[in-house]
Amino acid sequence: MQKETETLCARSVRYRRERRSVPLAREFARTVLAEWDLERRADDILLCVSELATNALLHGVPPGREYRLHLSLGEGGLLRVEVHDSGDGEPRVPVRDAAAEEECGRGLLLVSALADKWGVGERNPGKIVWCEWWPEYGSGPR
């Protein structure tokens, strides 16, 4: 059974279904990480933000809708990144590894490799794809 952690701070922003939203989401996350003094793992976290935002944009956000990026910091330093979208379906890590030269199909493989934990939750309508990082590599439950 997973223990719930209390949220100490949280920040959210909504983005339109536009390509330029991905770098905007990444910059928002970079700013929040700096405010929370969590820059040490920023490269991994920002890459995951980019991948989740791109997946929402390509697969989860119907035309005319938005997605939401939500970052929260829990007690003990647990950082959680969530992307909320209103699309159908549940994302899954591909069974096969994408070839190194392929530009798509590797997003969730990267997220699963870089985050300490990740998953998908239900939302009505849609879903929440999330990933978490503990303050030190290997210090949190897997």
pLDDT at 26 over 90: yes
58: left (phi over 0), alpha (psi -120 to 50) or beta: alpha
Check: CB of residue 67 under 8 Å from CB of residue 82: no
Q: pLDDT confidence of 136, banded at 50, 70, 90? A: low
- Report the pLDDT value the prediction gives residue 95, as an integer from 0 to 100: 60
Supply the pTM of this predicted model.
Answer: 0.83
pLDDT value for 62: 84
**Which residue's entry shows tokens 């994302």?**
91
Q: Assess if residue 114 is contained within a domain.
A: no
Query: pLDDT class for 106, splitting at 50, 70, 90?
Result: confident
Yes or no: say if 64 and 114 are a contact pair by the CB < 8 Å rule: no
118 inside domain: no
Domain limits for position 128? 16-98+123-142
Count how many domains the chain has.
Answer: 1
Residue 61 is assigned to a structural domain of this protein = yes
